[in-house]
Amino acid sequence: MKYNILQEKSFEFAYRIVKLYLYLSKEKKEFELSKQVLRSGTSVGANVEEAIGAQSKKEFRSKLSISYKEVRETRYWLRLLEKSQLITTRQFNSINKDCEEILKIMVSILKTLEKQSQQ
46 class by beta-carbon count within 10 Å (0-12 exposed, 13-18 middle, 19+ buried): middle
User: DSSP of 1-61, one letter per residue?
Assistant: ----HHHHHHHHHHHHHHHHHHHHHHTS---HHHHHHHHHHHHHHHHHHHHHT-SSHHHHH
Hey, where are the domains in the chain? 5-118
Is residue 54's pLDDT more than 70?
yes
Burial of 6 by CB count in 10 Å (0-12 exposed, 13-18 middle, 19+ buried)?
A: buried
CATH for the 5-118 domain, from 3.30.1520.10, 3.40.50.2000, 3.20.20.140, 1.20.1440.60: 1.20.1440.60
Q: How many residues does the chain have?
A: 119
pLDDT tens-digit map of 91-115: 999 999 999 999 999 999 999 999 9
The model's pTM is 0.94
